[in-house]
Every structure is written in structure tokens, then in C-alpha cells.
A and B are shown apart, each in its own frame.
Chain A
Amino acid sequence: MFENLSEKLQRAFKNLRGQGTITEENMQEALREIRVALLEADVNLNVVKELIEHIREKALGQEVLTALSPTEQVVKIVHDELVALLGKDTARFNFAPRPPTVILMAGLQGSGKTTTTGKLAAWLQKGGRRPMLVSVDVYRPAAREQLKVVANSIKAKIYEGDTKGEPAGTPLVERLAKEARREAVNSGCDTLIVDTAGRLHVDGELMDEMAKLKTLLAPQEILFVADAMTGQDAVRSADEFHKRLALTGVVLTKMDGDARGGAALSIRHVTGQPIKFIGTGEKPDAFEAFHPDRIVSRILGMGDIMTLIEKAEETLDKKKSEEFARKALSGDGFSLEDFRDQLRQIRKLGSLQNIMKMLPSVGPFQGMQQMADQVDEGQFSRVEAIINSMTPKERNNHEIISGSRRKRIANGSGTSVQEVNQLLRQYAQMRKMFKGVGKGGMLQRRAMGMLSGMKGMGR
């Protein structure tokens, strides 16, 4: 797996502990590491070159901050530089003064335009708007059928139109688009989202068609839908689409994978247009506003702790968690019943692997990302099965679980007595540890240390 930038820089600066200043010479290796990190994250080579220049100037001109190590200082410069490039402006959406607002979706084949069209419609609906969808992809087999299914699933209006046997081509595309806009007005929809066929930026004919659609519809937004896994070529397609259409924004899709997403920097750099949204899954609500600092952390391999926290807040039952914390920290301690509740809550967050991958790979969580690949997800299921096989009485009072009970539990859960023993031992340890925290013991100090460590991440 990838090493993150901090680790690399730590190596680069290993020899200058105590010196504490950044000089031309010791920056050389650090800059090389930064370059490699950015390239491995698929940031375009020329964008990297320019960034490295900026970073070099900033780093050398910088006053030495006594509070930060050279590594931290450089990481902060890199981080800030990338955030600055992506733009701090949160995505704003342009709506027409007189409806309907028209949104034109553009992009290469397979970038996720149709799925994104549906997500965008759902997002607009949530904001109280009345979108209408239309697909003018008359080329790909079943593309228009696909949008229809998507629209139905989110209960959005769709203009289906009738090809009337007309051959696939720009005249048909224009006719469908025109009809859809009329239909949107007539049926009181305030936004029209036009899903188009995927096309290559080098396909003159189809790029002309996009330009014609733009003239015809005068859209308020032209969104470029791009795959987060795109490599060095991202600049070329984005550049060409922007030249022909003057894009107003970008949607980065498939961000739920493990691509670093350096394409975001490349596309932003070459088009100057903000990334407005990211797609994070196949469901209609897997769609979020874009946060520059989060993707920068991801590009630099520093985890995505903000997303993790947000996800936790969304999915976890806060009351239950607080209840658990109160019990765990108090003299009574938590029961196996409580433990199972917590286990279930954590599993709602997704696979443990994904959770661990969101943790920063420096500081207190060092090594967690690397460990993620070795995690045995089945362990959770076995632990839950063991607890499920206990009687309520046993769950609330673990001390009564005798040898014969352990045997019964092992049989009932399809595990072994050893595993039951192990669980009970771990449970007892955890209980004790939490109680210690309640009294302001070791763990609390460690938790405080973790928090201050996180602040040092340059966020």
C-alpha cells in the first residue's frame, strides 16, 4: 500500500533533526518525495511541476516555526498549496432567474453521467426544487432506458420523448432536448437536467453536437463528470471539453473507491472551474458537496477523518453511544449486551477495512491503514454470534459463565471454547480499561494526545 507523504518526508528530513531549518539542499530530497507522492496520486505531471516550484519558493522563504518540525512545516505548505489550488469557494449552483434552469451533463464514456444525473435530481428535490430529466443519449444501447429506471427510482419526472424511428444523430438529439425544455415549462418543472452521450474529446462530430446543445439550451450549468480513477490523461479531456463548452463545474465520481483522486487537482488546474460534487456510491443519495481540504488529505495519504466523523454522526445512534460511554466509565462497567450494541453500531459504518483506511496514517493511528488489508471481517461476526448464543442473564453478568456454559455457548455459536474464552478475557480487559479512563487514567491522557496530534496535521 501507499506510504503517506508525512512518512516519506520524515525520511527525507531524518538527517536534519536538531538543525530545524529548511535549506535549499535539504529541500531537494523532500521535494522529490512530494513529487513522487503527487504523481502516485495521479496528479498531472505538469501540474506537479508547477506545484513543486510554488512549494519550493514558499518553503525556502518561510520563517522557521519553532512549534513545528521541518516535516510538519513542509506538509503544511504542501497541504495549503493544494487546498489553495482547489479553491476554498464552496460550490455554488447557478439557477436561472426565470425557470427552467438548464443543467447540461458532459463527459467521457463510463464516467457516470447517468447515475450522477439521478443523484443531482435527488439532491435538487431535497432542496425543494422540481427537476425534470431527459436523456439525449441516442447512441448507447439502452442509455435512455437506464435514465428512465433511475428517474423512477427517485420519483423524478422524466421526458421520454419519442424517437419516431428517426436515426441516431444530432438532429434527433436537438429535437429531444427542445421538446424536453418545452415539457419542463408546461409541467411546471423549474430545472431541466440533460443527460448526454459519453464522448471522447477527440471526436469532432460529437463535440460539435455538445456545442450545438449548448447554443440551443443556453444552460446555466455545464457539469463535467469525471472518474476519480483517471490518470494523467485527465487534463487533456477536461481541457478540450472546457475549450469547447466553457464548463461551469465538475463532478468527481467513484470517490468511494481507493483512488487518490489526483485528477481533481489536474482538472481544476486546467479548467479553473470548481469541483462541485463528488459521487460516493451507486445509491441516489451517495452524493456530497466537495470539500477541498478532504481530498487534499486523501491525495497526500492522510486519511479522511472528517468524512469518517461525519459518517459516524450520521449513522450512529448518539443516545446509545452516550449511554454506553456513561456506563463504561462508571463503576458498573458495561455489559456484554452493551458491547454487542456497540459492535453493531460500528458495523453500520461499513467494513472495518474501509474505516481503517479513512484514518490518517501518521500519529496515533500509525500503521492502521496498512493493517486494514489484514483485518478479518469475520471476526466481528463470530464475536456477535458468541454473544448471541448467551442468555440475557449471562450477557448482563459475565461472571456466571462457567465452563459448561462456555461449552454450550461455543456449540451454539459454531465457535470453539477457546474463542469464547478469548472474548471473555478481552471483554474483561476492556471493561477494566474504560473504568480506568473514568478515573482520569492512562487512556484519557492518550486520547488527549491523539487529539492534539490531529491538530498538528495542518488542517
Chain B
Amino acid sequence: MIQTLFGSLKEAEEPPKQGFFDRMKQAVSRTRESLEDRIEGVLSMTRAVDEDALEELEMSLIASDLGVNTAGEIIGNLRERAKRQQIENGAELKTLLKEQLKNILDEQQRPPRAVATVPEVIMMVGVNGTGKTTTSGKLCAHFREQGKSVMLCAADTFRAAAIEQLEVWSERSGVEMIKSKQGADPSAVLFDALQASKARGRDYLIVDTAGRLHTKSGLMDELDKMRRTTQRIIPDAPHEVLLVMDATTGQNGLQQARLFTEAAGVTGIVLTKLDGTAKGGIAIAIARELKLPVRYIGVGEKIDDLLPFNSDAFVDSLLGA
């Protein structure tokens, strides 16, 4: 996000137009200076840390959806360290900033839980329209490529044509899918899929669930029920509960992560739609406040557009390097 905010000077050089909203648009593009300039500015001529410039830097983190608290803390640390370590140029400050962002993310990275017996059960959860079905399909292909056997469970029995949509992905990735009818009890489909994948010794079972807002307690209870169903058949499952989150998500992402973790025991985040201009800064706030790692990122609509998370590349993209 900072990438586009500060990456391009062309936008700012557009000839001025008339009218209130045009003026607004100009205001938006005005801030699209390079992050480098901004970081240089922080250190100004006097070599003392320039407070105004630091505040500007804080604002640019906020503009990337890191949120007021997280951005404030990061800048606070940066100020301390810049003073203590006698930072002399922008490049050093930038390295420091990057290091901090990376640390927040890396601290939460941990190896996935060991799986006692196959299948490893991965449950996909999230609010509506974040890309759970697409990600489920991509995950199948991802594991298939590693030579693993995978089964899909179409547990979104609510949304119109969700089953048909997942079916296309199951064909594309050559993975068997267990399904029921629209309106059926998702736990019942899940039960069948758990037994089938266990009987056939599949390495992975990927469970696509219906999108739901985290504020709907009835629907959140349904997730809890699905988790209990899973545990009845495979005691240490679900091994992963991935919260699929749209990279454009703002501060509500924290609340999403909080409530889905309470109801469904989220173990990690999948950030989708990172091929747009939003860079998913909320993931940093989530890592800091809720200690959840990012596991995968989605970067397009093609079957191989899912990548394991890499904090280096993520922070680079966030900072527009």
C-alpha cells in the first residue's frame, strides 16, 4: 500500500482540476511521495530526529492499515532506537523500520503442529467474500504439487452455488470432493468427509466453510460445532484453522481475528487479493495484538496464485521496496 502511495510521483504531477472532489483527489495523490524521501526527512539537516517527519512516517503506516496503536508503537520504538543508535541516514532508518515490522511478523511464525495420524485437517473460515473457496482450491493444488493426497469438503451449504464453485476447483486440482445439498447441515457433510478421508488415508482434508460475519453468534456457534465434530473423529484435529482475510480489510480485521479465534480456534491467517493496491497492513496489527501468524498469501485468481508467507517479501511490498 505504501508502495502505491509513495511509489509514484507521476500522479502528483497531474494538472490541477476544478471542483471540490477534484481537489480532494489531489490531496490524496499529494502524499504519494517516495517513502525514501520521507525517511530522509525524518532525519533532517540537523541530524536530530525530526518529530514532524516521524509523525508523517507514522501516518504512512496508518495509511497502510496498520492501525493507530500498532503504528504508534512502531514509531515510538523507532524514535528510541534512532536516538540511541545515532542513526545518520535514511537507509539505516529504513532498515530499522523494516526489521521491526519483520520482527513482529516473524515472532508469530512457528512450524505447523505435528500431525499424529493423517489426514491433516485444515478448516477455512472467514467473513463473506474474502476468498475462502478460491483459497481452498488453490491449497489443493499446492499440496498436490508436493505429491500429497488431498480431499475437499464442501461445508459451505449456505451460499448459493458455493458447492458448484468448489466443485470446479476440485476438478481443476484433481481432488476428490465430499458434498451434500445446499441447506444441509455443514457438520453432517464434514462428518462424512472426515470419515472418508480417514478411511482412504488422505494426507490432507481441506474444509471450505460458509462466510459469516463474526458478530453473528449463531453462525459462530456453528463453527464451534464443526470443530467438535472434527474432534470426535480425529482427536487432534482440526490441525489448522485458517482465517481468510481480504488484504483491503481495515481495522475491523482485528475484531474478525479476535472473534473467529474465540469461536473456531484460528491458528493462522491467509491474506488474499494482495495483487491489488492494498498491502494487508492489518496483518501486522493482528500479529502484534493477537499473536497470529500469516500462513499464505493470495496473489491472483489462477490456481497457482497462492504462496507460502514470507515476511521479507511482505514487508518489502508494504514499504514499496
Verify if A218 is at the interface (C-beta below 8 Å from B): no
Measured in the bound complex, the distance between the Cα atoms of B159 and A200 in whole Å is: 23
Judge whether A142 and B161 touch: CB under 8 Å: yes
Judge whether A256 and B252 touch: CB under 8 Å: no
* Closest beta carbon of chain B to A151's beta carbon, Å: 9
Q: A45-B63, A141-B167 given. 5 additional CB < 8 A pairs?
A: A46-B24, A145-B161, A260-B251, A272-B21, A282-B158
Verify if A249 is at the interface (C-beta below 8 Å from B): no
Of the 9-residue stretches B84-92, B125-133, B191-199, which lies at the interface with chain A?
A: B125-133
Answer whether A110 and B131 are a contact pair too, CB < 8 Å, given A50-B24, A142-B161. yes
Judge whether B24 and A269 touch: CB under 8 Å: yes
Judge whether A110 and B277 touch: CB under 8 Å: no
Determine chain B's interface SS by DSSP, over half rule. Answer: loop
Measured in the bound complex, the distance between the Cα atoms of B65 and A231 in whole Å is: 6
Of the 9-residue stretches A234-242, A290-298, A361-369, A379-387, which lies at the interface with chain B?
A: A234-242
Tell me which residues from 8 to 63 in chain B have a Cβ below 8 Å from any Cβ of chain A: 20-21, 24-25, 27-28, 30-31, 59, 62-63
Judge whether A46 and B160 touch: CB under 8 Å: no
* Closest beta carbon of chain A to B137's beta carbon, Å: 8
A110 contacts which chain B residues (CB < 8 A)? 128-131, 246, 273
Verify if A407 is at the interface (C-beta below 8 Å from B): no
Verify if A71 is at the interface (C-beta below 8 Å from B): no
Judge whether B160 and A229 touch: CB under 8 Å: no
Judge whether B67 and A46 touch: CB under 8 Å: no
Answer whether A258 and B255 are a contact pair too, CB < 8 Å, given A108-B273, A231-B65. yes
The 8 Å CB contact of B276, one of A112, A143, A200, A263, is A200
Measured in the bound complex, the distance between the Cα atoms of B214 and A363 in whole Å is: 28
B127 contacts which chain A residues (CB < 8 A)? 229, 254, 257
Tell me which residues from 35 to 70 in chain A have a Cβ below 8 Å from any Cβ of chain B: 36, 39-42, 44-47, 49-50
Judge whether A202 and B277 touch: CB under 8 Å: yes
Tell me which residues from 87 to 146 in chain A have a Cβ below 8 Å from any Cβ of chain B: 108-112, 114, 139-143, 145-146
* Closest beta carbon of chain B to A142's beta carbon, Å: 4
B64 contacts which chain A residues (CB < 8 A)? 232
Judge whether A233 and B24 touch: CB under 8 Å: no
Measured in the bound complex, the distance between the Cα atoms of B64 and A39 in whole Å is: 11
Interface centre among A46, A146, A258 (most CB of B within 10 A): A46
Verify if A353 is at the interface (C-beta below 8 Å from B): yes
Judge whether B129 and A231 touch: CB under 8 Å: no
Judge whether B214 and A39 touch: CB under 8 Å: no
Verify if B105 is at the interface (C-beta below 8 Å from A): no
Measured in the bound complex, the distance between the Cα atoms of B21 and A271 in whole Å is: 7
Verify if B213 is at the interface (C-beta below 8 Å from A): yes
Answer whether A232 and B246 are a contact pair too, CB < 8 Å, given A146-B160, A270-B25. no
Judge whether A49 and B251 touch: CB under 8 Å: no
B216 contacts which chain A residues (CB < 8 A)? 256
Judge whether B165 and A141 touch: CB under 8 Å: yes
Judge whether A258 and B1 touch: CB under 8 Å: no
Which 8 A-B residue pairs are closest in the complex by CB-CB distance? A231-B250, A110-B129, A141-B168, A42-B250, A149-B160, A146-B161, A233-B278, A142-B165
Measured in the bound complex, the distance between the Cα atoms of B65 and A259 in whole Å is: 14
**Which residue of chain B has the shortest Cβ distance to A352 in the bound complex?**
B217
Judge whether A46 and B31 touch: CB under 8 Å: yes
Judge whether A259 and B250 touch: CB under 8 Å: yes
Would you mind naming 17 contact pairs between A and B with Cβ atoms under 8 Å apart?
A: A36-B68, A42-B251, A46-B27, A49-B27, A108-B248, A108-B276, A140-B301, A143-B161, A145-B164, A201-B277, A231-B281, A233-B276, A233-B278, A254-B127, A257-B127, A257-B213, A259-B252
